Structure 1
Amino acid sequence: MFTIIDRYIIKKYLGTFGFMLGLLTIIVLVIDVQAKAPRIESNGFTVSEFLVNFYPYWILNLIITFMSILVFISVIFFTSRIANNTEIVAIISSGASFHRFARPYLITSGFIAIMALLLNHLVLPLANTKKNALEPYTYTAVSRDEFTGSSEVSTQLSKTEYIFLKSYNKKEKRGSGFLYQKFDKNHRLIYQLNASEFYWDKTKNQFVLSNYLEKTIKGDGTEKLGNGNSMDKSFGHPPEELFPDVLLGQNKTTPELLQFINREREKGNANLNTYLNELYQRTSMPVSVIILTFLGLSLSSQKKRGGLGLNLALGIALAFVFVFSFEVLKVVSENKTLTPLLAMWLPDIVFGPLALILYFKRANQ
């Protein structure tokens, strides 16, 4: 059963967190809409369309990304206030231990962490699908072309099969300069298919190749040639799976992402760190909610000279270091300097023991 103190702290925690959440949402939304409105309108959309079809999903992604910061600042803010009002001293003087005082912090942070886990693994990917469909139209022209323009693309279908595209437009799912090659176990070319133009036919779930030329190389070295005006060809997966971009991992629920990663490993794809970072961060970030809750409690539960302002300044600095470290470690992992598992858990590994040390130091005072 929750005591009056438990309910009081939980109410303070959730109330402050909700206020911070609402404040961040309003401020960031207004700033972002004003900054991106010219780009949105220059691409043939209206701001109102984006307010309905883009920003609700974008805000959910933003909330999950900065949830650790919001929790940390919220804990420091309301804990510093009750500490300055000597409420913590009164609670502990009544016979309650510091561990007992910290129980509602654990309950509330655990609840938020569980909700964040569910959102990260199952709900956020569905929101990202909506967000990522429109987000390129908020970028600069150069950045937008990476997602909506044409570029040279290559992919590995299996350990012996490759596709090379001289020009491919991801938005229109068509291009030119198609080349498919298949090798035997001795790395000898046994089949090659060229086409001048190609596009993805959604109704057939196949590529349609125009002006194709195919070459089959037999065991004795002789070649069999074939050509035609049109050919339907399936490679087992739609273009989004065959030619994935960096946003694909965000659009998949965790079961789907695991299947995709396993399939890419079977194909021999060694460039999976972007998707592995996404997978591991979905769990490590919610765990950080509990870590930062106890770090914030330990730093702000004593009345200090400088009061709330000093605690908030320290809290904001530490919180941004924590979240910024995730972004830096993503880049380090994608460059294969660290494994994705270590990179995405390293902030928790560093801040977790720090939070424990400070917590027990505070509890024993």
Structure 2
Amino acid sequence: MGIIDRYIIRKYLGTFGFILLLLSVVVLIIDVQAKKPRIQDNGFELSHFLINYYPFWIIYLVMTFMSILVFISVIFFTSRMANNTEIVAIISSGASFHRFAKPYLITSLFIATASLLINHFVLPWANVKKNELEVYTYSAANREKIIGSAPVSTQINKDEFIFIHSYNKKEKRGSGFAYKKFDKNKKLTYQILASEMNWDPQKKVFILTSFHEKTINKDDTERLNNGNEMTRSFGFPPEELFPDVLLSQSKTTPELTNFINREREKGNSNLNTHLNELHQRTSMPVAVIVLTFLALSLSSQKKRGGLGVNLAIGISLAFVFVFSFEALKIVSENKTLSPLLAMWLPNMVFTPLAAYLYFKRANQ
């Protein structure tokens, strides 16, 4: 590795680290000020959130905007090099533009690899910590949607179903419980009705109170049973029987893959939210490499207007890129596009653009 390689890598990582730190501090201050009243209204000290919530929230924030940070960093330091005629001097010394781009490739591969590992294994752990307290930063109406009581239902497999009239996900307790099992002809063969149900985390079973049990035999005769309390396991904990939109964020990729496969076996076709999360964990790190070369191509030549013009173009394109991910998530969740296509479409659009601009610049 030559002197120029080390120089550019230091520039890349130094600028990236500075922008990362600056963004984290600024956004943290703004977010704390905005959420402080809600945190205190819920009976928490702000110091508790600063220790137990915000460090993990920062990890989530950084990984969400990693591609923007990389893009702006490359635009910034490469534009300064171009304005200072450093790039002209390097190319004039006999190095090709491809050789000049080598340290950009090395650094982007390093950041992309680190992002890939964090997305698949570290970020889910951080999200577990973050999600435990995040609900207390919401408005009362949004908080009630998540930790309040509401009707839920789930399909355990193609023949077994659970319905609960009012279930509280935080307390893992509900009322108006019904479990129904059908045969291959969709005929009811077994049923449990209970006035109350709750999850026992020690025994990992559901406790059903004031239950009525009915078994329907092949000759259509019925066997009835009732009692004050019974315990039942339905094969999964309540978090997986009644998953929320945050569940996929809290699972490592092997755990998430197993969960999606189990849900498919159960007959659950509403998996796009979880599949979006799975595919985005890989597509976003790849975007780091794509956006690095797009930024290099846009900013490696001195332009009228200098750094300001390049930054304006870079920030606009970066936000379009990230916004497209969020928009395509909604499209995918509505089942208009497959999650795989939706989460890779921005890369599929920006990669040819980056390649065209790169080779155009290299041949100048």
TM range (shorter): over 0.9
Deviations 1:46-66 (A, max 9, x none): 110000000000000000000
Report the TM-score when normalising by structure 2. Answer: 1.00
CA–CA separation in structure 1 for the residues paired with 2:237 and 2:220: 33
Task: List aligned pairs for 1:58-207, cutoff 5 A.
Answer: 58-207=57-206
Instruction: State the number of aligned residues.
Output: 364
Moved more, 218-227 or 107-116: 218-227
Q: Secondary structure at the match of 2:179?
A: strand
Equivalent residue number for residue 336 of structure 1? 335
Moved more, 112-121 or 221-230: 221-230
Deviations 1:127-158 (A, max 9, x none): 00000010000000111112211110000000
Q: CA RMSD for the aligned pairs? A: 0.5
Equivalent residue number for residue 274 of structure 1? 273
CA–CA separation in structure 2 for the residues paired with 1:175 and 1:145: 15
CA–CA separation in structure 1 for the residues paired with 2:215 and 2:141: 41
Residues 1:362 and 2:358 are matched in the alignment: no
Residues 1:265 and 2:264 are matched in the alignment: yes
Equivalent residue number for residue 230 of structure 1? 229
How far 1:282 sits from its partner (Å)?
A: 0.1
Residues 1:39 and 2:38 are matched in the alignment: yes
CA–CA separation in structure 1 for the residues paired with 2:359 and 2:192: 67
Report the TM-score when normalising by structure 1. Answer: 0.99
CA–CA separation in structure 2 for the residues paired with 1:317 and 1:221: 68
Deviations 1:258-282 (A, max 9, x none): 0000000000000000000000000
How far 1:203 sits from its partner (Å)?
A: 1.3
Name structure 1 gaps, 5 residues minimum.
Answer: none
CA–CA separation in structure 2 for the residues paired with 1:202 and 1:96: 65
How far 1:225 sits from its partner (Å)?
A: 1.0
CA–CA separation in structure 2 for the residues paired with 1:144 and 1:122: 28
How far 1:224 sits from its partner (Å)?
A: 1.2
Q: Secondary structure at the match of 2:174?
A: strand
Equivalent residue number for residue 309 of structure 2? 310
Equivalent residue number for residue 212 of structure 1? 211
**Aligned sequence identity (%):** 73
How far 1:221 sits from its partner (Å)?
A: 1.2
CA–CA separation in structure 1 for the residues paired with 2:245 and 2:273: 7
How far 1:89 sits from its partner (Å)?
A: 0.5
CA–CA separation in structure 1 for the residues paired with 2:317 and 2:261: 36
Task: List aligned pairs for 1:16-35, cutoff 5 A.
Answer: 16-35=15-34
Letter in structure 1 aligned against 2:79 = S
Letter in structure 2 aligned against 1:218 = N
Letter in structure 2 aligned against 1:87 = E
How far 1:204 sits from its partner (Å)?
A: 1.2
CA–CA separation in structure 2 for the residues paired with 1:22 and 1:228: 61
Letter in structure 2 aligned against 1:25 = S
Letter in structure 2 aligned against 1:247 = L
Structure 1: which 4+ aligned runs deviate by more than 6 Å? none
CA–CA separation in structure 1 for the residues paired with 2:188 and 2:360: 67
How far 1:9 sits from its partner (Å)?
A: 0.3
Equivalent residue number for residue 239 of structure 2? 240
CA–CA separation in structure 2 for the residues paired with 1:312 and 1:103: 22
CA–CA separation in structure 2 for the residues paired with 1:350 and 1:78: 25
How far 1:214 sits from its partner (Å)?
A: 1.0
